[in-house]
Amino acid sequence: MYGLAAGAGNRQVMKSMDRLKGKVAIIVGATSGIGEAMTNLFAQEGAKVVFTGRREELGKKIEADVRARGGEATFRRVDANSEAELEALADFTAEKYGKIDILCNNAGILISNEFTQIDLEKDFDATIATNLRSQFAMCKHTIPYMIRNGGGSIVNTASIGAFFAMPFQVSYAASKAGVKQMTRSLAIAYADKNIRVNCICPGLTHSGMEKSGDAFDNAVLPLVPVKRAAQPIEMAYGALYLASDEASYTTGHDLIMTGGLGLQ
């Protein structure tokens, strides 16, 4: 058995089944929460993973932990708001491994504020840049490599906020709705190139962005039918399915993982 990293917010550890054996994956925004769980899980399942974040010390620790357990992961310090750095990330990965099979876009921020108090630059622009523009740019620079490779799988991180109103997180909801529609548009645009494009839509997840006991957690948790928040590893397993060949007939899909939130 291949154990996942402590601190990745895992509820369970499952035996590796080599579901991504031979695949090369890029995971953007992966030094905590869902992205960190994706990195550990994808490496566990046999992928060669290049993952990013801005916290270099933490990234290097995750890399060392994965390698100590026999996986392959390489950390790259990347600012997700820099198109040049994202382009360099795609180039680095393709040069290192000769191909890119999987892209997971996971960089994100969440800023809560009453709508009339929103600072357009510090709140709206920053949220759109990190949550939507970074995913757009990374897809732009990765898809050409996937075309050369004969196909690939892109998994974007959207949110339940793409479907339901979030009155104190308007910028976040707008950015995630953009991710959802971008995902669907790319799925149609590149279906004939054997490139699948899907997104995961997490609900309340204790990933670092949303923490146990904070105001948002206290407001939303009573509305979740399963009566608990998700752990990052649960979202990572959803991304694993969409990234793997098991989802070979799935594209343009919004995988909603909310513990039943929104059903009532």
The set of catalytic residues is 172
Residues in contact with 93: Cβ distance below 8 Å, sequence separation at least 6, in sequence order? 24, 26, 50, 100, 145
Q: Which residues pair with 26 in a beta bridge?
A: 50, 103
Annotate 10-23 with b (16+ C-beta within 10 A) or e (fewer).
Answer: beeeeebeebbeeb
Pairwise CA distance, residues 143 & 178, whole Å: 19
Cβ atoms of 247 and 187 within 8 Å: the answer is no
Pairwise CA distance, residues 78 & 26, whole Å: 12
Q: Is the alpha carbon torsion for 211, 255, 191, 45 positive or negative? A: positive
Pairwise CA distance, residues 159 & 172, whole Å: 9
Cβ atoms of 114 and 161 within 8 Å: the answer is no
